[in-house]
Structure 1
Amino acid sequence: MNENITAQSPIQSGFGADTTAKEVIGDIDLRGKVVIVTGGYSGIGLETTRILANAGASVLVPVRNVEKGREALDCIPNVLMDTMDLMDPASIDAFAQRFLDTKKPLHILVNSAGVMATPLRRDSRGYESQFSTNHLGHFQLTARLWPALQQANGARVVAVSSRAHRLASSDFKDPNFEHREYDKWKAYAQSKSANILFALELDKLGKTEHVRAFSVHPGLIPDTALGRDLAEEDAVPRPIKDENNEPTVSNQTKPKFKTVEQGASTSVWCAVSERLNGLGGVYCEDTDIAEAVPADSLKESGVRPWAIDPELANRLWKLSEEYTGVNFKI
C-alpha cells in the first residue's frame, strides 16, 4: 500500500459505539483553536459545538434561523453566530468572506449540517436540495475557507456522512434527478456517498498544506431535527436488500440507536484525536476508522467501495467545481 494513503481499517482507538463526545474530549485543551461547525445549533452539531467550546475553542456557528440559533447557543461559552444558507451560493461566499476578513486561522471545520429524505426540492440553480445542501454547499464553503485552513498549519475538516451511503453511489450522469424518477432515499444516499468521496479527495490534495480530512457516520440518532420531513413509517433505518429486492434476515433485528452525546463522539474524535495525526481521507464510525466492506456486504456497518474509490472521488471533485463554479486554491 502507498505509504501516503491511510488504511481504511480500525486502529483500535480505545473507544466504541457507546462512547460520548465528552469522553472523547477528556482533558484536551482547545484554547487558541478556532472552529466552525455547520449545523452547530441542532442535534449532533449542537453537541459538537458544546463539547469543543467547553474545551476552550472559539466556535463560530453559521445559522439560517437566528432566533433558533440564539436559543440553542446563548448558554454556551466561546460561541459566536453568523448567517449562512448552504443552498444559497451568495450566502456561503458572504459568510466565508466575513470570516476571512478576521484574518484568523481555521483549525477545525466540521461540516455537520444536512437534510435527509426530503420531498423533491431544488435550489435557485435547479440542483436537487439534498445534493445541494449536503455536498455542494459544503464543497463551496470549504473552498472559500481554504486560505484560513492553510493558515492553521494542521487543520482538520470533518464531513458528516451516514451509513445510508450504502444504499446508493453517486450518479454522475443525473445527480439532480432531471431524467429519472425522484427517490428521496437514493438522493440522500448519493449525497452521503459524496461526503465520503469529498473527504477522500480533499485529504489527498490538502495533505501537502497540512490539512487533513475525514468523513463520519455518527450513528442512528432519533432525537434530532434531521428527519423532520419523514413520515412515521419512514423513521426507521433503510434495510439492505438482497438480489430479489427483499430485506435480508440480518435486517430484521432491532436497530441500535445512539444518544446525541454518543452521536457526536466520532465527529469530535476526528476533529481532535492525536491518534489521527498524520492520517486522513478515511471514513469513521463508532469512534474509530471503519472497516472497508464489499459492495454486496449485508453488514449495517462499514464503508462500501464506491465511497472510497479515488477515481470516483476525483470525478466528483471535478463535477463539483463545474456545478459550483468554485475552484480550490491548492
Structure 2
Amino acid sequence: MTTAQHKIGSGFGARSTANEVLDGIDLTGKLAIITGGYSGLGLETTRALAAAGAHVVVPARRVDAARAEVGEIAEVDQLDLGGLDSVRGFAERFTASGRRADMVINNAGIMACPETRVGPGWEAQFATNHLGHFALVNRLRPVLAEDARVVSVSSAGHRSSPIRWDDVQFERGYDKWAAYCQAKTANVLFAVQLNAFGVQSFALHPGGILTPLQRHLTKAEQVERGWIDENGTPLVPEFKTPEQGASTQVWAATSPRLAELGGVYLEDCEVAEISDDDAPGVRSYAVDRDEAARLWALSAELTGVNAF
C-alpha cells in the first residue's frame, strides 16, 4: 500500500452523493459496522450501503433511538464509545457471532461539548472520538476480513490543532474547540498508523453539513459563526446535504480506485493534498508517521488494548 497524499482524479466531487459513488458497486455479502449509523451522516451512510446490498451493523449509545431510525435496514447493538467496558462488550458479542467485518466506519462523534470527563477522567472528545474507536478497532482485529477497510471520520478542524502532547486531556484549562480539533487530528493519525500495521485505513473530512453534531452549540453561536441566520436558514453556500456529506466515507469504504492506497486523508471524494497554509487539504502533522506511532503508543497505554 502507498500513502501518497496526492489527488487521483476520482471523477467525483463535493456535490457527489453517497448513492452516486456506489453506482455499479454490489455489496451483497459484505458486512459494515458503522458507529453512530443512525443519525446525520451515519444514517445516510447506513442507508446507502444497505441499498447497495451490505449487511449493516450499527453500534449505538441510544439503542431505542437507533432502532427507530434505521428500522429494518440495519442491525443495532449497544455501544458507548466513552466506556471501555461497553466497547469490549460490543466487540465480544460481534466476535461471538462468528462473522467478519469488511468495513468499519468510525463515524460517531461529539463536537464542542461543555467540559466533560469520562472513564478515568479523560477529556470526552478525545475519549469518544478517538480512544473509543481505537479500542473498538483493536478489539475487532481478529474478525476483520483480510481486505477490510477502516474509515475514520475526521474534520477540517484538525487543521487547527496538532496533538497537545503536554496536555492531551486539557487538565490545565479546557477549550471546547481546541479539544475537538485535537481529537480530529487523532482520527487522522490513527488511520496512518493502522494502515502501517497492514489494515487498509482512511481518514476524511466530510465537508460542512448541518447535522445533530451541532447539538452542543446554541443558535446564537451558530449565528455568530455565520452558519445560519436568525431564522435558522443556512448561510454558507458550501454546506452540503447529508447525502453529499456521507459520500466521502462511503467512497473510502468501497471505491475500487482506492484499492492500492491507504493511510491517506480524503475530502470531497478525493485524496487531499498536504497543505500547511490556508488552502484545503491535510496538515502535515496529521499524516506524520512519527506522530502517528507516538499517538498509537499513548492510546494503547491509556486503553490497555493493542492488537498489533
TM-score tier (shorter):
over 0.9
Q: Counterparts of 1:1-330 in structure 2 under 5 Å?
A: 4-76=1-73, 79-149=74-144, 152-179=145-172, 181-206=173-198, 211-222=199-210, 224-235=211-222, 254=236, 256-294=238-276, 297-299=277-279, 301-328=280-307, 330=308
Instruction: Output one character per residue of 1:208-253: Cα deviation in whole Å (capped at 9) or x when no partner.
Output: xxx200001000001x1101001224337979xxxxxxxxxxxxx9
* Corresponding letter in the other structure for 1:231: T
Structure 1 runs, 4 residues or longer, greater than 3 Å off: 236-239
* Corresponding letter in the other structure for 1:49: T
Does structure 1 retain, via aligned residues, the 8 Å contact 2:45–2:250? yes
- Give the Cα separation in 1 of the matches to 2:117 and 2:225: 24
- Report the secondary structure of 2:118's partner residue: coil
- Give the Cα separation in 2 of the matches to 1:276 and 1:173: 36
- Give the Cα separation in 1 of the matches to 2:77 and 2:305: 22
Instruction: Output one character per residue of 1:145-177: Cα deviation in whole Å (capped at 9) or x when no partner.
Output: 00111xx11000000000000111111221111
Does structure 2 retain, via aligned residues, the 8 Å contact 1:112–1:160? yes
- Report the secondary structure of 2:77's partner residue: strand
- Give the Cα separation in 2 of the matches to 1:131 and 1:322: 14
Does structure 1 retain, via aligned residues, the 8 Å contact 2:2–2:260? no
RMSD: 1.5
- Give the Cα separation in 2 of the matches to 1:237 and 1:274: 42
TM-score scaled by length of structure 1: 0.88
Uncovered stretches (5+) of structure 2, i.e. residues with no partner: 227-234
* Corresponding letter in the other structure for 1:216: L
- Give the Cα separation in 1 of the matches to 2:250 and 2:70: 18
TM-score scaled by length of structure 2: 0.94
| Paired residue total | 300
